[in-house]
Structure 1
């Protein structure tokens, strides 16, 4: 196995295929030649032995057979006939003695050439000996061997040429795959392997393309995750720096005695406000980190139950009206038991509350808001769809898809003048995704957020 591995490493595939084809063809040709030569000369030998037997039986019939009477020692007593093929007329005494001793047809080599001899006894104690020189057959055998060797060599040369050409032609798709893989290895992950043929090479290219798609997707996801993490850390540090700087500034002033007694309550109030801001930001970051955890690593997913989203919306609207009683809020909610979802009631309440708080933060006072909740049929199962709309200035189309990004604000300077950290809608999007739903900002006047959650079975009403 080690030797084969070393050969595979030293020689290209096409060379190994050509060598394998030549080995197979050579084996077939050698078996064919040996079988053919053996069969031909067996037939010739059998026919010759039949002629010798016939000559012995008839006492001399064939002109190419020598027939003579010899004694037991092989010496000639009389010659019945001599062969007419040319060459010696009769075998040597030693050859005749060997045939008499054998008692069956044998081949004897002598100084005058090879003979095929057969002897049969006579009543007077002598032997009738029939023989035929086979030097011509030996020369024919040698000539045929040379012809076959030349033919085999020519066939192998032709096979090598044709096999090399055909293998090179057949491996062109594989060569193209290798060339493309080399370019991909150089760093261009956008390229794909040619997979036009339905053969094994096409299947290989298709499988590799699928793997490259997954690798490229994973790399892009990793790059985006790294970029999000870097941006998240930068934004979090920036958001924390402002309140921490304010707290440090007031503390330094107080420590140096630069805060008059009349301003001490103000300093304490500002330190408390900035501390609360830091605490709120940390709580939001921890909540996002918890929502980012896989479902099998957090226990909160196991505690969910079937709840009526319409009830959640009604409670959130009551809370919003208590905070901003002058803002008109219109609702279109289905009856109880229709908008049923499986989830965390507190988290879903936070979704609706954050959306209403976002309306209060970004629209003028008394700007109307509308909430529409319905159950819709879908191919993968019914969905509960919630739309929260306001009649405010809206969001420019070019940044509409970014409103759910963490620390995103349409007005970056607003955070330094009493605004939030830009995490409210990010938390909403994370909670919705954690419940198996999707969220998007829809185009139109004002600002509309559409949330779709998988519906649970309606509860039976008695």
Structure 2
């Protein structure tokens, strides 16, 4: 919380950018002013030293230079030339400093600052050339004032232009922030403006993609929560009926309300309902296992190439033994031409559940058909179609037949059917676990189409 509070207390980005720009411009201007003034006065000082050296060498025409002869202590012995204005000669202390230095120096005295240069004479005295530099100090002060005013004006202009340009440049970011605030308020349907190709547009596009994924994940989670809620409700409803029947028969038997001749009937009904509960629990456990990858079932590395046509043949033989009066026709390719990589027992359960679904939801004697083919167009797939001539499923309910605990239209339910509505859900889960897809096709009766990836030959695996 401390970090977030500090972040919110920071000044706006535009203010920080303006302050940064002003700091940069101020630094550059100060460096420029200092460098330029240093260079100017260094040039002036060099020219003045040249004038002093020329005057010492006997040059004429330097009327602004004072020439005098001094001793080692700087005391004046003779004045050869004085300036027409200002102080005539420098102070003794300034002259002595020039004599001791042996090169041009700047010295201060009661009458102001001087630039002095001395040269020794054969008689032991020194020829001193001096020039007052008080005017340079005044020039320095005036230039400093001018530069300060110029820097201030430049900074004001820079601040105004920077504020305008940054405001113009940050308009897309401001729009993004405004939309982000609305999205933060809960409106996940809004999207950030991403119409530009610059960094802000790229950021907005990336955030829009993230929002799409977040919204899709939330929607999927809501659907999953809704499916889980319905699943728990339906499972409880399915379990309540047989448990209530078992409890009822047990209470009657405990109270002695079951005649001796009816005890076998009570035990038979309790056993039937117990088997029904056990079957439902087994189906629920199987679905839970299929929902968890590698949860105790055959994994992808343990699967082998199996012939789907052979699996269909075995399942049809079992179905004919259970319901010999039902005509079941098959259209299967020759053995070995419909290979899929998977669990043979699970795939057998797929076909068995589809045939059991036909027995449970169609009248006795209703024909059933199974067709297997190897399709190369659109991908190397093995396609299984299982169809019947029963009452079928309404078109608006066709996409829901593979939902858990789905109940078809009563017209399709066969008398005596006590299924929990999990058979087709298990089929869909096994098919998805094998990388296939399943759907109910339109047409007369009810047709299920299953498409599984064809297995590669063993030599290429």
Measured in 2, the distance between the counterparts of 1:113 and 1:183 equals 72
CA displacement 1:109-152 (0-9 Å, x = unmatched)? 22322221222222333332222221211111111111111111
SS at match of 1:130: strand
User: Which of these residues, 391, 395, 400, is aligned with residue 397 of structure 1?
Assistant: 395
- What is aligned with 2:27? 27
- What is aligned with 1:16? 16
SS at match of 1:448: strand
**Gapped regions of structure 2 (runs ≥ 5):** none
**Gapped regions of structure 1 (runs ≥ 5):** none
Residue 326 of structure 1 and its aligned partner are, at CA, apart by 3.2
CA displacement 1:84-116 (0-9 Å, x = unmatched)? 4x3223323443333333332122222322221
5 Å matches for 1:140-219?
140-219=139-218
Larger displacement relative to structure 2 (26-35 or 121-130): 121-130
SS at match of 2:421: coil
Residue 248 of structure 1 and its aligned partner are, at CA, apart by 2.1
- What is aligned with 1:69? 69
CA displacement 1:25-64 (0-9 Å, x = unmatched)? 2222111111111111111100111011111112543222
Larger displacement relative to structure 2 (173-182 or 18-27): 173-182
Cα pair 1:337 1:459 within 8 Å, conserved: no
2:280 aligned with 1:275: no
Residue 255 of structure 1 and its aligned partner are, at CA, apart by 3.0
Cα pair 2:361 2:414 within 8 Å, conserved: no
SS at match of 2:440: strand
- What is aligned with 1:89? 88
Residue 365 of structure 1 and its aligned partner are, at CA, apart by 3.1
5 Å matches for 1:85-124?
86-124=85-123
- What is aligned with 1:258? 257
SS at match of 1:336: coil
- What is aligned with 1:384? 382
CA displacement 1:247-279 (0-9 Å, x = unmatched)? 222232333333334433333332222222222
CA displacement 1:173-197 (0-9 Å, x = unmatched)? 3333332222222222233333333
- Taking structure 1 as reference, are residues 153 and 33 closer, same or farther at Cα in structure 2, changes over 3 Å only? same
CA RMSD in angstroms, aligned pairs only: 2.7
- Taking structure 1 as reference, are residues 378 and 292 closer, same or farther at Cα in structure 2, changes over 3 Å only? farther
Residue 75 of structure 1 and its aligned partner are, at CA, apart by 4.1
Measured in 2, the distance between the counterparts of 1:395 and 1:165 equals 68
SS at match of 1:436: coil
Measured in 2, the distance between the counterparts of 1:423 and 1:285 equals 8
- What is aligned with 1:441? 440
- What is aligned with 2:407? 409
Measured in 1, the distance between the counterparts of 2:6 and 2:282 equals 63
Measured in 2, the distance between the counterparts of 1:143 and 1:63 equals 26
Measured in 2, the distance between the counterparts of 1:447 and 1:7 equals 63
SS at match of 1:388: strand
Cα pair 1:59 1:67 within 8 Å, conserved: no
